């Protein structure tokens, strides 16, 4: 921990130095610096522009040496020393505070904090800056917390329409990638260290040659691009090289949606749904709560429209017809699993039913659904699956048009602004790549620039991109990691993290955000804007380039506007304007896809790692995936029945054969999965992609071909014997008739508002009387009493809270082997139970005692976020022999790490099992990333904690939240209700001599939650939001009969089934 303190202190001292005030009262950490000499040197210099840190001014020998080294950070991180890294960090304070000297073509730039202006940076007080995180081309507004120049946490920007202050897992975890020791750090030429200058020399020469042919041999491959600046730059490039071609490839992009809209409207349109108005939603294999660019907003609106406020049960209804399990399916009131090949048939039938044609009989009662849709004309919507065939999108467009669904159509803004018609847009999806591959194979490509994406890894197998790109004499890769594709390129250019660059980006609804950096690049990265300008021969700083895009738009007084935009994190009124397009409402279904025999397969992006771009992110890798609760692996998801037919069990090693490719994978039984369908998450099986990604899971891309990017059939699965141990964090999936998650239909709710379901009668008063302990030990009347409610009616199980907790509380990544042993450190876990819709059938199900092995065709899936519930009569406290866990006057169950000797008795005695123990020195080691050999099942003896991966620690330490102790080995830890946030607020309130206002303290999990399922506050105040929630009839205390009096209580979940269907 002392190291930890140092790493946070170092920047402080440097920051004190960079702003020349408070130099005297700063307790100087580098005595060798002669401050007077420095002042003398400073005299007459124009501060910001000429010096980077005090060492430079003082010309200390080591700083000279550091300067002398032309590329100080280009050494492999293995032998990089902490001081030099920290110097860079110190220099980054220039940005945060006063001056920014950012390398040779970056002059001073001003960025604007979100809440408090840094006239004088207060050491120990974080600053918050608004910026935007871009995922697969679409933006989410971010508020980034910065401690002394270190970005330490990413939260949602409340002013941003895409997430309204919420955050998804990728967004929050991206901060870890900033400090990823495995990220690309310097320019590589054929794997050798090189420099930007050399690269520019080479590429400018190449492009000069290209000029002659108008750039016929110049190809640019990107992912989805919504950044207006980048689009403009590419267009400029295309003006310079009229015959160059720009290709776009997203392994899991919006291409089916685009094609479908193209089909339905003949225009490049994108649908934007307004769930706040919707009463009936039908999802045709859509995971709109998680997988869409607008998901965070959709989830919020959708839940708002079904939220139950004290007994008011007016709520919307969600039908889901899906080809795998998803959290949207888990939230739905009616769910059917269908084969991918049936999806189009269902869509057509639904369309037919809505438009009055006689519906064909199928497994799904489309007529009933259609009646419900039509009955709610104008407040009903059908959402097609992101990866459903274009026809399904077209069908849904037609249905939505006919029922006047609240869907606004906007022109696709991933097409550059200037261009108006679709065919000018670069073809997305596989077609886009196809043209490139053909050109490559035809040897028409001289200069190939791959900016983003990792085609060698994730291109369709039949393109054989690796071989194809070898035909291009010049292969340039601009990327964040030196990955599979970089290995095939002769130049690798290190990309910047979005916290290191100026840029702009657009959200799902087109709203533009300016991306402002919070630190200078840790390594030699340059933003894509800078790179494109540089190779085009007109180098300019990223800031200038981005500003030039917007100077025109702002009108007068650009600088003021600019500051406002940065401050707000969004540029007002930039949302795409809806267009009215005549739908070809008469939809004629194409011939339904036919099942080519064998099992059907369903390619999905991993809920955390997406297409693999985040697969080296330990937080995302280790947090259990929604519903399946699997970590560190992808698995072949199959229904219990399918598994029985194949005679395999979970963790059996199976061989998947599809289109000539053969892949070994672990089988995994997932109730709710449609029979005969195997779902495969992409993003695993990486090679030389970093210490986290390596060895995790298997690669599905070899089986994925351009003809069947998302759905395919003809999969052969056969068991090859042996096990593939999978680190899954939940082995029991039934509530076994216990009163854990309360759930009921609206009728049951009307009957018994408490939704209590278990057989035994439960009498609160009786239970309270049984408690022999005094209600109060110390008088705490005038002190706030903290409490929390979690509304399981609102929880969609998206994991945002869990990752937020990891980020806020310095929770370490422990690695697959430790998770397999049951030692994951997540303070907040999301329990998932399979149950059935109503009490009667639950009883039936329970009586034949269903385990995961037994088939349940279509269970209801419920989520229960579970962290320390801060019992008033905590069982963990009296059993601690050293009083290391005791109660605070504010009702917090406190854990005093320094006092803990690690007997672990508290964990044993915790009925909720929410305590976590540092069995090894997790916090500053990464053996967890060592790839252990699991071929013989679980390792007999855990791996040593010391491993070659230690080098990354110093870098990763800069991520630590200085307000939260980093726990050493041998101590217990658990959720603290974010006590550091409570303290900060309490101190502020005390200073201002007032009480803490309700809602002033927001815990990390609460902050991230897109649906406001978590409410935290003072339960002693009857008017606080949390008190109101606790008065809700659905409110109950988990395991109340154990006399623990938890401060966190849960609110039961209500479903709204359609009588016509459920009977």
Partner 1 sequence: MALHDPFTEPLIEGDKHYGTIDEQIGGVIQNQKRYHLKHPWYLFLGIGFALLNVLLLTIAWLLYQGIGIWGNNVPTAWAFDIINFVWWIGIGHAGTLISAILLLMRQQWRNSINRFAEAMTIFAVMCAGLFPLLHTGRPWVAYWLFPYPNIMGMWPQFRSPLMWDVFAVSTYFTVSLLFWFMGLIPDFATLRDRAKTNLGKKVWGLLGMGWRGSARHWHRYEQAYLLLAGLSTPLVLSVHTIVSYDFAVSIVPGWNVTVFPPYFVAGAVFAGFAMVLLFAIPVRAQYGWKDLITMKHIDWMAKIMLATGLIVFYGYILEAFYSFYAGSKAELALLQWRINGPYAWAYWSLILCNGIIPQLLWSPKNRRRLPLVWIIALVISYGMWLERFVIIPMSLMRNYLPSSDRHYYPTLWDFSMFFGTIGLFLFLMMLFIRFMPVINMFEMKDLLYKLQGTKASAPPAEPALAPAGGE
Partner 2 sequence: MVAEFVHPDDVLAAAKAARDAGYKRIEAYSPFPLHGMSEAMGFRDQRVPWIVFLGGLTGAVCGFALQYYIAVWDYPLNVGGRPLISLPQMVPVTFESTILFAAMGAFIGMLAMNFLPQPYHPIFNTPNFERASQDRFFLAIEAHDPKFDHDDTRKFLEGLSPEAVNYVEG
The distance of closest approach from Cβ of residue 653 to partner 2 in the complex, given in angstroms and rounded to an integer, is: 47
Tokens at 146, concatenated:
């910065």
If the CB atoms of residues 657 and 909 are measured against partner 2, the closer one turns out to be 909
Beta bridge partners of 807: none
Residue pair 609/683 in contact (Cβ under 8 Å)? The answer is yes
Q: Which does 773 bind (CB under 5 to 8 A by kind): partner 2, partner 1, none?
A: partner 2
- The dihedrals phi and psi of 563, each to the nearest 5 degrees, come to -60, -40
Shortest CA distance to 789 belongs to which of 1031, 1000, 1039, 997?
Answer: 1031
Residues 6+ apart with CB under 8 A from 222: 230, 234, 246, 247, 248, 249, 451, 452, 453
The distance of closest approach from Cβ of residue 352 to partner 1 in the complex, given in angstroms and rounded to an integer, is: 43
Spatial distance between the Cα atoms of 699 and 720, rounded to a whole number of angstroms: 18
Per CB under 8 A, 887 contacts partner 2: yes
Residues numbered 746 to 775 that lie near partner 1 (CB under 8 A) are: 760
Listed ranges 263-271, 272-280, 402-410, 887-895: which one lies at the site for partner 2 (CB under 8 A)? 887-895
Per CB under 8 A, 904 contacts partner 1: yes
Q: Which does 565 bind (CB under 5 to 8 A by kind): partner 1, partner 2, none?
A: none
Per CB under 8 A, 896 contacts partner 2: no
With CB under 8 A, what is the number of residues at the site for partner 1? 61
Burial 471-497 (b: 16+ CB within 10 A, else e): bbebbbbbbbbbbbbbebbbbbbbbbb
Q: Which does 777 bind (CB under 5 to 8 A by kind): partner 1, partner 2, none?
A: partner 2
Residue pair 571/550 in contact (Cβ under 8 Å)? The answer is yes
The distance of closest approach from Cβ of residue 818 to partner 1 in the complex, given in angstroms and rounded to an integer, is: 8
Pairing of strands 407-411, 269-273: antiparallel
If the CB atoms of residues 741 and 788 are measured against partner 1, the closer one turns out to be 741
Residues 6+ apart with CB under 8 A from 822: 729
Q: Which does 89 bind (CB under 5 to 8 A by kind): partner 1, partner 2, none?
A: none
If the CB atoms of residues 608 and 823 are measured against partner 1, the closer one turns out to be 823
Q: Which does 907 bind (CB under 5 to 8 A by kind): partner 2, partner 1, none?
A: partner 1
Question: Using CB under 8 A as the criterion, what x/- string covers residues 1034-1063 for binding partner 2?
Answer: -----------x------------------
CB atoms within 10 A of CB 442: 10
Q: Which does 774 bind (CB under 5 to 8 A by kind): partner 2, partner 1, none?
A: partner 2
Tokens at 561, concatenated:
């506007």
Shortest CA distance to 130 belongs to which of 525, 637, 514?
Answer: 514
Work out which of 200, 544, 590, 945 binds partner 1, going by CB under 8 A: 945
If the CB atoms of residues 688 and 908 are measured against partner 1, the closer one turns out to be 908
Q: Which does 66 bind (CB under 5 to 8 A by kind): partner 1, partner 2, none?
A: none
If the CB atoms of residues 50 and 773 are measured against partner 2, the closer one turns out to be 773
Shortest CA distance to 492 belongs to which of 502, 482, 505?
Answer: 482
If the CB atoms of residues 368 and 783 are measured against partner 2, the closer one turns out to be 783
Residues 6+ apart with CB under 8 A from 148: 8, 11, 12, 15, 93, 96, 121, 123, 124, 962
Per CB under 8 A, 972 contacts partner 1: yes
Per CB under 8 A, 735 contacts partner 1: yes
The distance of closest approach from Cβ of residue 73 to partner 1 in the complex, given in angstroms and rounded to an integer, is: 33
If the CB atoms of residues 602 and 976 are measured against partner 2, the closer one turns out to be 976
Per CB under 8 A, 970 contacts partner 1: yes
Q: Which does 917 bind (CB under 5 to 8 A by kind): partner 2, partner 1, none?
A: partner 1
Per CB under 8 A, 660 contacts partner 1: no
Per CB under 8 A, 909 contacts partner 1: yes
- Maximal C-alpha separation, the chain: 91
Output DSSP code: residue 79.
G
Spatial distance between the Cα atoms of 531 and 200, rounded to a whole number of angstroms: 9
Per CB under 8 A, 886 contacts partner 2: yes
Q: How many residues does the chain have?
A: 1063
Listed ranges 135-143, 172-180, 845-853, 881-889: which one lies at the site for partner 2 (CB under 8 A)? 881-889
Q: Which does 348 bind (CB under 5 to 8 A by kind): partner 1, partner 2, none?
A: none
Shortest CA distance to 20 belongs to which of 37, 36, 39, 33?
Answer: 39
Spatial distance between the Cα atoms of 292 and 162, rounded to a whole number of angstroms: 11
Residues 6+ apart with CB under 8 A from 828: 801, 802, 805, 865, 866, 867, 975, 1005
Q: What residue has token string 């030389």?
A: 688
Per CB under 8 A, 953 contacts partner 1: no
Per CB under 8 A, 733 contacts partner 2: no
Q: Which does 889 bind (CB under 5 to 8 A by kind): partner 1, partner 2, none?
A: partner 2
Distance of CA 326 to the CA centre of its chain: 16
The distance of closest approach from Cβ of residue 879 to partner 1 in the complex, given in angstroms and rounded to an integer, is: 5
Work out which of 307, 821, 951, 1025 binds partner 1, going by CB under 8 A: 821
Work out which of 18, 286, 324, 864 binds partner 1, going by CB under 8 A: 864
The distance of closest approach from Cβ of residue 776 to partner 2 in the complex, given in angstroms and rounded to an integer, is: 8
Pairing of strands 727-728, 630-631: antiparallel
Spatial distance between the Cα atoms of 1057 and 1063, rounded to a whole number of angstroms: 9
The distance of closest approach from Cβ of residue 769 to partner 1 in the complex, given in angstroms and rounded to an integer, is: 19
Residue pair 956/812 in contact (Cβ under 8 Å)? The answer is no
CA distances from 223 to 3, 326, 1036 (A): 40, 25, 47
Residues numbered 819 to 878 that lie near partner 2 (CB under 8 A) are: 871-878
With CB under 8 A, what is the number of residues at the site for partner 2? 19
Residues numbered 505 to 544 that lie near partner 2 (CB under 8 A) are: none
Q: Where are the beta strands (DSSP E) in 825-925?
A: 829-835, 860-866, 885-887, 893-895, 916-917
Residue pair 276/338 in contact (Cβ under 8 Å)? The answer is no
Distance of CA 794 to the CA centre of its chain: 19
Per CB under 8 A, 883 contacts partner 2: yes
Spatial distance between the Cα atoms of 72 and 90, rounded to a whole number of angstroms: 15
If the CB atoms of residues 395 and 871 are measured against partner 2, the closer one turns out to be 871
Q: Which does 887 bind (CB under 5 to 8 A by kind): partner 2, partner 1, none?
A: partner 2
Spatial distance between the Cα atoms of 777 and 768, rounded to a whole number of angstroms: 16
Q: Which does 969 bind (CB under 5 to 8 A by kind): partner 1, partner 2, none?
A: partner 1
Per CB under 8 A, 304 contacts partner 2: no
CA distances from 854 to 122, 645, 723, 748, 857 (A): 59, 13, 20, 28, 10
Find the helix packing angle between 196-212 and 528-535, rounded to 10°: 50
Q: Which does 918 bind (CB under 5 to 8 A by kind): partner 2, partner 1, none?
A: partner 1
Shortest CA distance to 703 belongs to which of 690, 692, 717?
Answer: 717
Per CB under 8 A, 774 contacts partner 2: yes
The distance of closest approach from Cβ of residue 889 to partner 2 in the complex, given in angstroms and rounded to an integer, is: 8
Residues 6+ apart with CB under 8 A from 784: 890, 995, 996, 1018, 1020, 1021
Listed ranges 234-242, 577-585, 667-675, 732-740: which one lies at the site for partner 1 (CB under 8 A)? 732-740
The distance of closest approach from Cβ of residue 924 to partner 1 in the complex, given in angstroms and rounded to an integer, is: 13
CB atoms within 10 A of CB 847: 9
792 by Cβ neighbours in 10 Å (0-12 / 13-18 / 19+) ranks as buried
The distance of closest approach from Cβ of residue 870 to partner 2 in the complex, given in angstroms and rounded to an integer, is: 11
Per CB under 8 A, 969 contacts partner 1: yes
Binding site for partner 1 (CB under 8 A): 730-738, 740, 760, 818, 821-823, 829, 831-833, 864, 866, 875, 878-883, 899-905, 907-909, 911-913, 915-921, 938, 940-942, 944-945, 969-972, 1038-1039, 1042
Binding site for partner 2 (CB under 8 A): 773-774, 777-778, 871-878, 880, 883, 886-889, 1045
């Amino acid at each position: 921990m002392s190291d930890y303190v140092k790493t946070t202190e170092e920047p402080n001292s440097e920051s004190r130095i960079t702003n020349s005030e408070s130099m005297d009262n700063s307790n100087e950490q580098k005595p060798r610096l002669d401050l007077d000499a420095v002042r003398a040197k400073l005299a007459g210099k124009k501060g910001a522009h000429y010096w980077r840190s005090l060492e430079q001014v003082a010309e200390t020998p080591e700083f000279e040496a550091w300067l002398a080294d032309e590329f100080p950070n280009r050494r492999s991180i293995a032998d990089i020393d902490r001081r030099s890294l920290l110097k860079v960090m110190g220099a980054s304070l220039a940005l945060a505070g006063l001056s920014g000297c950012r390398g040779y073509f970056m002059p001073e730039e001003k960025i604007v904090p979100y809440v408090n202006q840094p006239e004088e940076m207060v050491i120990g007080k974080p600053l918050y800056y608004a910026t935007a995180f871009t995922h697969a081309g679409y933006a989410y507004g971010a508020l980034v917390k910065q401690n002394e120049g270190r970005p330490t946490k990413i939260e949602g920007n409340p002013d941003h329409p895409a997430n309204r202050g919420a955050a998804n897992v990728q967004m929050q975890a991206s901060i870890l990638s900033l400090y990823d020791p495995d990220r690309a750090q310097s320019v590589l030429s054929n794997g050798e260290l090189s420099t930007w200058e050399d690269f520019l020399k080479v590429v400018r020469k190449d492009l000069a040659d290209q000029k002659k042919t108008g750039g016929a041999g110049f190809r640019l491959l990107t992912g989805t691009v919504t950044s207006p600046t980048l689009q403009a730059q590419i267009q400029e490039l295309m003006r310079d090289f009229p015959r160059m071609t720009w290709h776009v490839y997203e392994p899991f992009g919006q291409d089916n949606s685009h094609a479908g809209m193209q089909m339905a409207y003949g225009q490049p349109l994108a649908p934007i749904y307004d769930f706040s108005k919707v009463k009936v939603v039908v999802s045709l294999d859509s995971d709109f709560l998680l997988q869409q660019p607008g998901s965070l907003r959709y989830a919020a609106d959708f839940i708002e429209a079904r939220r139950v406020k004290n007994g008011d049960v007016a709520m919307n209804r969600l039908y889901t017809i899906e080809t795998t399990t998803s959290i949207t399916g888990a939230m739905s009131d009616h769910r059917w699993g269908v084969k991918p090949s049936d999806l189009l048939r269902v869509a057509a039938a639904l369309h037919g039913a809505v438009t009055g044609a006689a519906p064909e009989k199928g497994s799904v009662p489309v007529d009933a659904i259609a009646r419900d849709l039509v009955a709610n004309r104008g407040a009903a919507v059908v959402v097609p699956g992101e990866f459903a065939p274009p026809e399904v999108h077209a069908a849904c467009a037609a249905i939505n048009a006919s029922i006047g669904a609240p869907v606004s159509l906007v022109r696709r803004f991933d097409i550059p602004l200037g261009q108006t018609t679709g065919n000018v847009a670069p073809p997305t999806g596989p077609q886009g790549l196809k043209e490139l591959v053909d050109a490559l194979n035809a040897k028409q490509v001289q200069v190939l620039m791959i900016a983003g994406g990792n085609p060698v890894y994730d291109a369709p197998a039949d393109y054989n991109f690796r071989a194809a790109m070898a035909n291009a004499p010049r292969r340039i890769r601009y990327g964040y990691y030196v990955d599979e594709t970089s290995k095939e390129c002769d130049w690798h250019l290190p990309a910047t993290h979005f916290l290191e660059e100026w840029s702009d980006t657009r959200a799902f609804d087109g709203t533009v955000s300016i991306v402002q950096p919070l630190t200078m690049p840790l390594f030699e990265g340059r933003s894509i804007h800078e790179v494109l300008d540089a190779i085009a021969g007109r180098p300019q700083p990223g800031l200038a380039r981005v500003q030039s895009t917007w100077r025109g738009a702002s009108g007068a007084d650009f600088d003021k506007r600019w500051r406002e935009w940065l401050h707000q994190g969004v540029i007002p009124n930039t949302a795409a304007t809806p267009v009215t397009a005549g739908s070809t409402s008469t939809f004629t279904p194409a011939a339904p896809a036919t099942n080519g025999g064998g099992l059907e397969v369903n390619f999905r992006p991993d809920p955390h790692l997406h297409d693999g771009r985040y697969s080296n992110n330990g937080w995302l890798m280790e947090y259990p995936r929604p519903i399946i609760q699997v970590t560190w692996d992808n698995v072949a998801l199959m229904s219990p029945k399918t598994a029985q037919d194949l005679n395999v069990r979970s963790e059996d090693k199976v061989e998947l054969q599809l289109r000539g490719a053969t892949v070994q994978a672990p089988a995994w039984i997932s109730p709710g999965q449609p029979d005969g369908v195997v779902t495969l998450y992409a993003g695993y099986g990486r090679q030389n992609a970093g210490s986290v990604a390596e060895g995790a899971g298997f690669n599905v891309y070899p089986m994925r071909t351009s003809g069947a990017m998302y759905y395919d059939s003809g999969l052969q699965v056969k068991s090859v014997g042996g096990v593939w141990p999978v680190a899954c964090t939940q082995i029991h999936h039934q509530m076994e008739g216990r009163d854990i998650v309360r759930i009921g239909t609206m009728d049951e709710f009307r009957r018994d508002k408490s939704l209590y379901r278990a057989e035994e009668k439960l009498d609160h008063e009786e239970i309270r009387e049984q408690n022999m302990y005094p209600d109060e030990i110390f008088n705490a009347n005038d002190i706030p009493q903290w409490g929390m409610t979690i509304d399981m009616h609102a929880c969609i199980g998206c994991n945002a809270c869990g990752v937020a907790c990891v980020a806020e509380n310095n929770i370490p990544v422990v690695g697959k082997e430790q998770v397999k042993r049951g030692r994951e450190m997540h303070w907040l876990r999301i329990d998932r139970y399979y149950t059935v819709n109503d009490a009667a059938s639950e009883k039936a199900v329970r009586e034949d005692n269903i385990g995961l092995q037994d088939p349940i065709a279509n269970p209801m899936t419920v989520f229960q976020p579970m962290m320390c519930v801060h019992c008033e009569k905590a069982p963990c406290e009296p059993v601690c022999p050293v009083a290391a866990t005791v109660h605070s006057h504010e009702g917090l169950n406190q854990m005093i790490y320094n006092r803990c000797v690690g007997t672990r008795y508290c964990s044993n005695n915790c009925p909720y099992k929410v305590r976590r123990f540092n069995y090894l020195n997790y916090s500053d080691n990464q053996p967890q990333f060592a790839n252990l050999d699991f071929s013989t099942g679980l390792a007999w003896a855990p791996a040593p904690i010391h491993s070659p991966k230690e080098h990354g620690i110093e870098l990763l330490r800069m991520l630590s939240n200085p307000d939260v102790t980093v726990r050493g080995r041998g101590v217990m830890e658990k959720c603290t209700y974010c006590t550091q946030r409570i303290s900060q607020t309490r101190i502020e309130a005390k200073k201002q001599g007032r009480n803490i206002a309700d809602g002033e303290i927001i815990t990390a999990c609460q902050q991230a939650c897109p649906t406001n399922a978590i409410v935290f506050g003072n339960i002693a105040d009857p008017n606080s939001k949390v008190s109101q929630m606790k008065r809700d009839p659905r409110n109950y205390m988990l395991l109340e009969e154990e006399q623990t009096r938890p401060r966190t209580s849960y609110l039961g979940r209500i479903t709204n089934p359609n009588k016509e269907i459920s009977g």
